[in-house]
């Protein structure tokens, strides 16, 4: 699995979402590498790992990220996941609870079928098969921003999606659709932060709300005027929220 790594300090692992890649996190790498060892995996079938066979289960992706961290000698880490990556980090926490020091679930939820999404997974699957990955990547990426195609980060996100094969894109949809993390929420004991953009068209309010109410003692940050990719729309605010949470001793501190 390809990955980016920069900085020193307690490891902070950033997991991208569906049709994404490590490049989406460049602003966070730049902003947080002065205090953290920032590690950004590229999931199989995506980004620098686009030549690897994509997986069709969230558990499979979680196991591969954990295996990468094993290879890097990383035993404990803060963990942040976005969108499908948010499902992956929930699964990683269930599989290796003693390794996760703090958990950040961003623009995500505990239900892989994505209720209240801008379109159903079945609709995305059908349009992917008829329109191809290029058109699908651009259409979906537009929904991630409040300004749609006019957003500064749109073209970069669309290009990452266009780099994904149809097979990998279909595998990601299958992985999300068959995953359900609601039963595991009560077992999450790590200090947890839920982040949501209030204009998110991929995850309606009931998804972050389920995380916030289902994970005991979790914190909630709602970013106003932001869509699904809030970290690209308001990066300064997003980075401040992340840094404050992972360095706050009242929330468990760093180790």
What pLDDT, on a 0 to 100 scale, did the predictor assign at position 252? 41
23: nearest Cα among 158, 146, 151: 158
What pLDDT, on a 0 to 100 scale, did the predictor assign at position 251? 46
- Asked if pLDDT for residue 93 goes beyond 90, the answer is yes
- Asked if pLDDT for residue 254 goes beyond 50, the answer is no
What pLDDT, on a 0 to 100 scale, did the predictor assign at position 253? 36
What pLDDT, on a 0 to 100 scale, did the predictor assign at position 249? 56
The pLDDT tens digits for 22-72 are: 999 999 999 999 999 999 999 999 999 999 999 999 999 999 999 999 999
What pLDDT, on a 0 to 100 scale, did the predictor assign at position 115? 94
The pLDDT tens digits for 112-152 are: 999 999 999 999 999 999 999 999 999 999 999 999 999 99
The pLDDT tens digits for 153-184 are: 999 999 999 999 999 999 999 999 999 999 99
231: nearest Cα among 47, 28, 36, 37: 28
> What CATH number belongs to 3-247?
3.40.50.1820
Q: Would you list the DSSP string of 148-215?
A: GGGSTTHHHHHHHHHTS-HHHHHHHHHHHHT-B-GGGGGG--S-EEEEEETT-SSS-THHHHHHHHHS
φ, ψ dihedrals at 43, nearest 5°: -60, 150
The pLDDT tens digits for 196-225 are: 999 999 999 999 999 999 999 999 999 999
Contact (Cβ atoms closer than 8 angstroms) between residue 61 and residue 43 = yes
Domain spans, the chain: 3-247
């Amino acid at each position: 699995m390809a990955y980016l790594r920069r900085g020193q300090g307690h490891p902070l692992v950033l997991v991208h979402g569906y049709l994404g890649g490590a490049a989406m996190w460049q602003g966070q790498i730049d902003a947080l590498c002065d205090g953290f060892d920032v590690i950004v995996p590229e999931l199989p079938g995506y980004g620098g790992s686009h030549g690897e066979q994509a997986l069709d289960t969230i558990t499979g992706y979680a196991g591969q990220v954990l295996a990468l961290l094993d290879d890097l000698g990383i035993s404990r880490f803060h963990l942040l996941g976005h969108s499908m990556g948010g499902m992956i980090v929930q699964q990683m926490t269930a599989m290796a609870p003693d390794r996760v020091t703090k958990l950040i679930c961003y623009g995500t939820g505990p239900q892989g079928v994505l209720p209240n999404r801008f379109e159903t997974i079945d609709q995305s699957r059908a349009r992917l098969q008829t329109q191809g990955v290029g058109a699908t990547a651009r259409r979906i990426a537009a929904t991630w921003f409040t300004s749609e195609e006019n957003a500064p980060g749109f073209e970069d996100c669309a290009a990452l999606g266009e780099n994904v094969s149809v097979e990998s894109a279909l595998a990601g949809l299958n992985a999300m659709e068959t995953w359900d993390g609601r039963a595991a929420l009560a077992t999450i004991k790590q200090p947890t932060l839920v982040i949501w953009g209030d204009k998110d068209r991929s995850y309606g309010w009931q998804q972050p709300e389920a995380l916030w109410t289902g994970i005991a003692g979790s914190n909630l940050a709602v970013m106003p005027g932001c869509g699904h990719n809030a970290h690209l729309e308001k990066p300064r605010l997003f980075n401040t929220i992340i840094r404050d949470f992972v360095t706050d001793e009242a929330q468990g501190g760093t180790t």
